[in-house]
């Protein structure tokens, strides 16, 4: 882990304060004007990691909305070393070997070098690196040039979606990280217990409806899926979220299997396991990647 300080890479630690994990706000928050897409629907590209749940959301939106031919994707190597995210081969825009080279275009930038990144080909700069904003733009900005039968964030359900998104972020998406990166026993236990209480609530809810908000797949389902699909593969072992497995929940397990079938081309189990088990030396210093779980 490290961060960029005005073009200089600084090797640093996780942002852990007093035993608790804190996630920093993203630095690039530019919006796409739909007119830009009408002028050139191929203007933007994505930099992602297949391991990262936040980047995974953007890949799922891109696929469900049928935007694959408009938005090329550049995938980083699963192993994140002290040098940060890197590419197996130099990436095509700037020819750099590290994701930080993309960020360094912004000479004054100080902060973490994270995926996903929405890259503006015309200006050769980062437009946005906050996944929640990128997915909202993917959902709306290409509709004039590429109508889709999917609307993952329908206007008339926006209030419910925002409320549920926030709940899932706090209690599920970020809760696994707060559990896994805790450096004090008491904090770990509190976080882990709260996480499983939230999973219990979701399992009950999904016993009553097919998706979180009814019969259609919507943004909160995508946000939940990206954590659930990683859960038994890495969060149970690596992050010690091991009171139960998703497999042990009757409704959550059916839900995640069904979504996995629909979204299988966006899921890369090898990258997920390699990244988590190899990239957090404080948690797994020997970088051993477990063989299991073997999926039934």
Contact set with ligand GSH (CB under 6 A): 1, 26, 52, 54, 112-116, 129-131
Q: In angstroms, what is the minimal distance from the CB of 120 to ligand GSH?
A: 16
Structure tokens at 277: 């088990």
Q: How far is CA 150 from the centre of its chain?
A: 20
Taking the least distance from each CB to ligand GSH, the nearer of 131 and 179 is 131
Instruction: Please identify which of the residues 3, 47, 52, 235 carries the catalytic annotation.
Output: 52
Q: In angstroms, what is the minimal distance from the CB of 209 to ligand GSH?
A: 26
* Spatial distance between the Cα atoms of 179 and 195, rounded to a whole number of angstroms: 8
Taking the least distance from each CB to ligand GSH, the nearer of 16 and 94 is 16
Structure tokens at 184: 């004090």
* Spatial distance between the Cα atoms of 144 and 189, rounded to a whole number of angstroms: 49
Is 167 exposed, middle or buried, given 0-12, 13-18 or 19+ CB atoms closer than 10 A? middle
Instruction: Please identify which of the residues 103, 177, 188, 277 carries the catalytic annotation.
Output: 177
* Spatial distance between the Cα atoms of 122 and 59, rounded to a whole number of angstroms: 21
Q: In angstroms, what is the minimal distance from the CB of 107 to ligand GSH?
A: 19
Taking the least distance from each CB to ligand GSH, the nearer of 97 and 251 is 97
Structure tokens at 96: 């750099």
Taking the least distance from each CB to ligand GSH, the nearer of 133 and 191 is 133
* Spatial distance between the Cα atoms of 231 and 40, rounded to a whole number of angstroms: 39
**No. of helices (H) and no. of strands (E), the chain:** 10, 9
Q: Verify whether residue 177 is a known catalytic residue.
A: yes
Residue 48: beta bridge partners? 75
Q: In angstroms, what is the minimal distance from the CB of 19 to ligand GSH?
A: 18
Catalytic residues: 52, 177
């Amino acid at each position: 882990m490290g961060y960029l300080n005005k073009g200089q890479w600084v090797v640093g630690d996780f942002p852990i304060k007093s035993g608790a994990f804190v996630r920093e706000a993203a630095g690039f928050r530019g919006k796409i004007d739909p007119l830009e897409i009408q002028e050139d629907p191929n203007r933007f590209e994505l930099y992602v990691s297949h391991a990262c749940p936040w980047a995974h959301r953007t890949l799922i939106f891109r696929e469900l909305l049928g935007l694959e031919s408009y938005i090329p994707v550049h995938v980083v190597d699963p192993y994140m070393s002290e040098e940060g995210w890197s590419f197996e081969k130099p990436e095509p825009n700037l020819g750099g070997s590290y994701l930080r080279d993309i960020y360094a275009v912004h000479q004054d930038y100080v902060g973490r070098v994270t995926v996903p990144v929405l890259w503006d080909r015309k200006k050769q700069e980062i437009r946005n690196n906050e996944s929640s904003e990128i997915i909202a733009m993917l959902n709306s900005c290409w509709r004039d040039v590429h109508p889709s039968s999917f609307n993952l964030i329908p206007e008339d359900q926006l209030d419910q979606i925002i409320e549920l998104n926030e709940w899932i972020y706090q209690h599920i998406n970020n809760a696994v990280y707060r559990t896994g990166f805790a450096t004090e026993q008491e904090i770990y236990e509190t976080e882990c217990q709260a996480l499983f209480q939230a999973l219990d609530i979701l399992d009950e809810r999904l016993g009553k409806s097919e998706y979180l908000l009814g019969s259609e797949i919507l943004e909160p389902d995508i946000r939940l899926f990206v954590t659930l699909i990683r859960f038994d593969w890495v969060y149970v072992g690596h992050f010690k979220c091991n009171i139960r497995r998703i497999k042990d929940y009757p409704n959550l397990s059916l839900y995640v299997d069904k979504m996995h079938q629909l979204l299988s081309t966006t899921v890369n189990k090898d990258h997920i396991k390699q990244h988590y088990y190899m990239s957090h030396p404080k948690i797994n210093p020997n970088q051993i990647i477990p063989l299991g779980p073997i999926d039934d």
